[in-house]
């Protein structure tokens, strides 16, 4: 597809890299000369210096021939105006990054009036992901598919887990009382694996299991992982993510203490969220944290604008025995280092935004084939989870999975048929209209026919 990308910051550059790797024709527009020079030297894309909300620049970029416009500058108004002008100039589809909470209240009206097909709020999406992690504090990450009916939960295998040292094919007979989930993926060291029947789990493996919500809950109850209930949270940093997160978790009965070093921002947060205990002070100050009860809190979430502060504060909370520590990082390339330091729950607004936009690009690109409903990049992009809707007439329809050829490095993880969740085995089959969740260790899969075939 022909895609015009407005904004060459962290999100824009990462998007451009992925889109080019997937063989899209990309044009990048940015006002910053250094950013455009960097893109010109590093990316196989047409790079234009200028205001992405300027009709002249958009016409020079070929807006009337583009399949999609993606506006990801730091300025919400610029993004919205760029989408509006692009639509007026003939662009069929626009994606807009809108971050300000004030715009969130009237988002649907703005989308309709400005011709925005998809509006993405990175901070709100990040806060939503964190709120899910607080519901399942033992998990490193949680993904939802089929409108929330299917969950895929990541956790680290421990020495006491009953599935260790047993070939996967023998688990049902050796541990018959353990609820049956699908072991979708494993990360061991720097290697991502799709487990086969002979696979044996080891302590320290990062394991991804999938199933319906009830089965997943029973599974972790069987493992003894659901003992912790988060009732108190400390948050470092009074930014937009903290605002959205507090709005999400206070109705869950969670007490929030927020640390903000800037006086005006602390005052503003206190006024907007009267139920939050806002502490004016440096949240990286270990004495202040202890004074406010760090060692007694159930979760510590570090959301400052500096990765270094988040890392140090997260490590300190981990060392103090806080059961759940979540750290924000803008550099997902450091994910392996952070997990080696014991920080399993890392969130990145940039990564979430990039993954979400790529999901819409894939779905738009493949709208005539087996449609992608949902796409998540996992483990810093080392793997992907995709939700397809099976189409009538495809070659795999009605054939047992054991009689089909599966693409190497992929796994059919879940089938949802008429609101019934099926964890598939060899004798199961796919019917037209089924929601099918696929795990892949490769990027670029865009059609279910590429995963399973005769």
| pLDDT of 312 over the 80 cut | yes
| pLDDT of 341 over the 70 cut | no
Please report how the helices 10-21 and 349-365 are oriented relative to each other, as an axis angle in degrees rounded to 10: 40
Q: Which has more confidence, 294 or 362?
A: 294
Tokens coding 223: 């493992």
Question: What pLDDT is attached to residue 33?
Answer: 93
Tokens coding 446: 């865009």
Q: Percentages helix, strand, coil for the chain, rounded to the nearest 5?
A: 35, 25, 35
Share of the chain above pLDDT 90, in %: 59
- pLDDT, average across residues 159-184: 93
Question: What pLDDT is attached to residue 367?
Answer: 54
Q: Where does the pLDDT of residue 274 fall: very low under 50, low under 70, confident under 90, or very high at 90 and above? A: very high
Question: What pLDDT is attached to residue 111?
Answer: 78
- pLDDT, average across residues 358-381: 70
| pLDDT of 308 over the 60 cut | yes
Q: Which has more confidence, 436 or 363?
A: 436
Taking the C-alpha atoms of residue 13 and residue 256, their distance in angstroms, rounded to an integer, is 35
| pLDDT of 115 over the 90 cut | no
Q: Which of 360, 121, 417 is nearest to 247 (CA)?
A: 121
Give the chain's largest Cα–Cα span.
Answer: 68
Q: Which of 65, 101, 107 is nearest to 86 (CA)?
A: 65
End-to-end Cα distance, the chain: 29
Structural domains of the chain in order of their starting residue, each with its CATH number: 2-120 (3.40.50.720), 232-322 (3.40.50.720), 365-453 (3.30.70.1450)
Please report how the helices 107-114 and 76-88 are oriented relative to each other, as an axis angle in degrees rounded to 10: 30
Q: Where does the pLDDT of residue 74 fall: very low under 50, low under 70, confident under 90, or very high at 90 and above? A: very high
Question: What pLDDT is attached to residue 380?
Answer: 67
Q: Which of 221, 217, 155, 215 is nearest to 181 (CA)?
A: 215
Taking the C-alpha atoms of residue 327 and residue 341, their distance in angstroms, rounded to an integer, is 12
Question: What pLDDT is attached to residue 336?
Answer: 60
Question: What pLDDT is attached to residue 434?
Answer: 92
What torsion do the CA atoms of 368, 369, 371, 372 make, to the nearest 10 degrees?
-110
Question: What pLDDT is attached to residue 339?
Answer: 62
Q: Which of 22, 39, 35, 29 is nearest to 6 (CA)?
A: 29
| pLDDT of 204 over the 60 cut | yes
Average pLDDT, the chain: 89
| Concatenated DSSP letters of 207-223 | EEEEEEHHHHHHHHHHH
Q: Where does the pLDDT of residue 369 fall: very low under 50, low under 70, confident under 90, or very high at 90 and above? A: low
Place of tokens 């999406």: 125
Given a contact cutoff of 8 angstroms between Cβ atoms, the answer to whether 354 and 16 are in contact is: no
Taking the C-alpha atoms of residue 439 and residue 295, their distance in angstroms, rounded to an integer, is 38
Q: Which of 294, 295, 282, 302 is nearest to 235 (CA)?
A: 302
Question: What pLDDT is attached to residue 268?
Answer: 93
Q: Where does the pLDDT of residue 199 fall: very low under 50, low under 70, confident under 90, or very high at 90 and above? A: very high
Question: What pLDDT is attached to residue 137?
Answer: 86
- The dihedral built from the CA positions of residue 180, 181, 182 and 188, taken in this order, carries a sign that is negative
- Lowest-confidence range among 210-219, 277-286, 381-390? 381-390
Taking the C-alpha atoms of residue 325 and residue 314, their distance in angstroms, rounded to an integer, is 6
3-state DSSP assignment of residue 145 = strand
Taking the C-alpha atoms of residue 405 and residue 451, their distance in angstroms, rounded to an integer, is 8
- pLDDT, average across residues 109-137: 87
Burial code (b: 16+ CB inside 10 Å, e: under 16) for 390-425 equals bbeebebeeeebeebeeeeebbbbbbbbeeebbbbe
- pLDDT, average across residues 417-440: 89
Q: Which has more confidence, 371 or 265?
A: 265
| pLDDT of 337 over the 70 cut | no
| pLDDT of 233 over the 90 cut | yes
Question: What pLDDT is attached to residue 93?
Answer: 94
- pLDDT, average across residues 124-134: 91
Given a contact cutoff of 8 angstroms between Cβ atoms, the answer to whether 422 and 342 are in contact is: no
Integer-rounded Cα Rg, in Å, for the chain is 23
């Amino acid at each position: 597809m022909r895609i015009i990308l407005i904004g060459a910051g962290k999100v824009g550059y990462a998007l451009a890299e992925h889109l080019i790797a997937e063989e899209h024709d990309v044009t990048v527009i940015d006002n910053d000369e250094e950013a455009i020079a960097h893109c010109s030297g590093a990316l196989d894309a047409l790079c234009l210096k200028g205001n992405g909300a300027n009709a002249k620049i958009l016409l020079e970029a070929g807006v009337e021939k583009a399949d999609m416009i993606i506006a990801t500058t730091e300025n919400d108004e610029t993004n919205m105006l760029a989408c509006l002008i692009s639509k007026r100039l003939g662009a069929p589809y626009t994606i807009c990054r809108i971050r300000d909470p004030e715009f969130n209240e009237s988002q649907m009206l703005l989308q309709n009036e400005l011709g925005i097909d998809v509006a993405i709020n990175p901070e709100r999406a990040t806060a939503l992901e964190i709120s899910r992690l607080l519901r399942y504090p033992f998990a490193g990450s949680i993904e939802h598919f089929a409108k929330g009916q299917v969950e895929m939960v990541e956790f680290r295998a421990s020495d006491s887990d009953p599935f260790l040292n047993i070939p996967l094919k023998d688990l049902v007979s050796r541990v018959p009382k353990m609820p049956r989930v699908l072991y979708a993926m494993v990360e061991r060291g720097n290697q991502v694996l799709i487990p086969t029947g002979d696979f044996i789990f080891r302590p320290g493996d990062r394991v991804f299991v999938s199933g319906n919500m009830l089965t997943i809950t029973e599974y972790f109850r069987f493992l003894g992982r659901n003992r912790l209930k988060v009732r108190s949270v400390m948050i470092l940093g009074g930014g937009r993510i903290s605002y959205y997160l507090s709005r999400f978790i206070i109705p869950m009965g969670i007490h929030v203490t927020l640390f903000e070093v800037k006086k005006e921002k602390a005052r503003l947060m206190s006024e907007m969220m009267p139920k939050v205990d806002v502490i004016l002070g440096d949240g990286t100050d270990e004495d202040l944290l202890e004074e406010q009860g760090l060692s007694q809190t159930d979760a510590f979430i570090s959301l400052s604008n500096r990765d270094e502060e988040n890392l140090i504060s997260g490590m300190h909370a981990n060392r103090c025995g806080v059961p759940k520590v979540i750290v924000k990082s803008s550099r997902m390339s450091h994910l392996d280092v952070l997990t080696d330091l014991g920080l399993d729950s890392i969130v990145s607004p940039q990564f979430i935004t990039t993954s979400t936009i790529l999901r819409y690009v894939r779905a738009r690109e493949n709208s005539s084939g087996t449609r992608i409903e949902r796409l998540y990049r996992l483990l810093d992009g080392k793997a992907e989870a995709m939700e397809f809707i099976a189409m009538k007439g495809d070659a795999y329809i009605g054939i047992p999975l054991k009689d089909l050829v599966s693409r190497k490095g992929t796994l059919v993880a879940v089938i949802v048929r008429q609101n019934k969740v099926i964890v598939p085995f060899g004798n199961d089959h796919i019917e037209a209209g089924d929601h099918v969740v696929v795990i892949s260790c490769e990027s670029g899969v865009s059609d279910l026919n590429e995963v399973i075939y005769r």
